[in-house]
């Protein structure tokens, strides 16, 4: 517990905020690809998924794709790649990841 308090003091002294991450909407005419915690990795499979939101926060598209056995970091990168491809195919050229 003392280590957590020490880290919080250090971060506050550096001007950094500690808190829960919040979703921030993209600019108008842009969409946002969310793939946080996108990979589901088991001993024999990895599945990636993601969502694409409009600037008003509304849901545009979602995807889920089986990608085989791989490291979770690789799976997250696959999720970004697949999400970007889907966005472009659907005509969304301005994408924030």
pLDDT tens, position by position, for the chain (97 residues)?
444 454 455 555 555 555 666 677 888 889 999 886 656 666 667 788 899 999 888 889 899 888 887 777 888 888 999 999 999 999 999 998 8
Tokens 């919040």 map to which residue? 22
CB neighbours of 26 closer than 8 A, spacing ≥ 6?
Answer: 32, 53, 54, 55, 94, 96
Separate counts of helices (H) and strands (E) for the chain = 2, 5
* CA 97 – CA 92 distance, rounded (Å): 13
Residue 9 backbone dihedrals phi, psi, to 5 degrees = -65, -40
List the domain boundaries for the chain: 24-96
- The H or E element spanning position 60 is strand 59-66
């Amino acid at each position: 517990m003392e280590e957590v308090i020490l880290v919080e003091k250090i971060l506050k002294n550096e001007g950094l905020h500690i808190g829960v991450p919040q979703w921030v909407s993209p600019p108008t005419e842009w969409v946002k690809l969310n793939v946080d915690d996108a990979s589901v990795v088991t001993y024999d499979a990895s599945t990636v998924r993601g969502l694409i939101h409009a600037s008003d926060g509304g849901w545009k598209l979602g995807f889920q794709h089986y990608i085989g056995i791989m490291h979770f970091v690789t799976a997250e990168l696959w999720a970004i790649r697949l999400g970007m491809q889907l966005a472009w195919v659907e005509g969304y050229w301005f994408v924030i990841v």
